[in-house]
Structure formats: structure tokens, C-alpha cells
Amino acid sequence: GDSVTQMEGPVTLSEEAFLTINCTYTATGYPSLFWYVQYPGEGLQLLLKATKADDKGSNKGFEATYRKETTSFHLEKGSVQVSDSAVYFCALSDYGQNFVFGPGTRLSVLP
């Protein structure tokens, strides 16, 4: 079945550091890919998404590019802020059916 693998956390960075959170997937079809974020005490919300190969999703300074050849959707940000501290979930949706989420990666950004 479909699956999503994310890098193990927690990830701790200093403010203004570069962030990469790796995500790879396996899918039988041609999935859409998502990053969701869960800030402390809040519900999950969509951060960005991409629906086809080589698409780049971007939001709030975060970016991720759909790489079909490497089945990856790594999340990047050039300069993180304390307010980016959260848990980040990579997910896929195959033909709009049920979503499959990765285990989440906790990011802590220190001032």
C-alpha cells in the first residue's frame, strides 16, 4: 500500500538557520503531495501542496518540489524563525482518496 517516510525528529535549529525535512513516498498511482503543520495547541493545517511532477508548492517561506524520479517532497526554508516551531507532516493522496500521513517531524527553533 501507499506509505510516507519522514526524517526522524526532533530537529533543533537556531533562528535564521536553513531547514530541510526529508520526505519520501511510495504510491501505486500518481499521488498529490502535501505538507501539513501543527503548531503547539492548534489543529493541523495545510502548509503547501503539489499535484504533479516538478510542481513546487510554497507558502510562508517554505518550499517543496514534487520529484517523481526520486519519489520525494522535501520541505525547505531558507531562514527559520522561532514561530516556525511546530510538528510537520508529509502526506499523500492518491486519486483524491484517503490520505496517508507520515509520522511527523518536530521542529524547535531557538532564539
2 binding other proteins? (CB under 8 A): no
107 binding other proteins? (CB under 8 A): no
Residue in 23, 35, 62, 93 binding other proteins, rule: CB under 8 A = 93
> For residues 1 and 100, what is the distance between their CA atoms, to the nearest angstrom?
10
Do residues 19 and 108 make contact, with C-beta atoms less than 8 angstroms apart? no
Nearest to 46 by CA among 110, 76, 89, 100: 89
Helix (H) or strand (E) segment spanning residue 108: strand 105-110
Residue in 11, 22, 44, 65 binding other proteins, rule: CB under 8 A = 44
Residue in 26, 59, 83, 97 binding other proteins, rule: CB under 8 A = 97
> For residues 64 and 86, what is the distance between their CA atoms, to the nearest angstrom?
17
CB of 1 vs other proteins, minimal distance in Å: 10
Do residues 46 and 36 make contact, with C-beta atoms less than 8 angstroms apart? yes
CB of 10 vs other proteins, minimal distance in Å: 10
Scanning 18-26, 74-82, 97-105 for contacts with other proteins by CB under 8 A, the matching segment is: 97-105
- Residues contributing to the site for other proteins (CB under 8 A): 32, 34, 36, 42-46, 49-51, 89, 93, 95-104
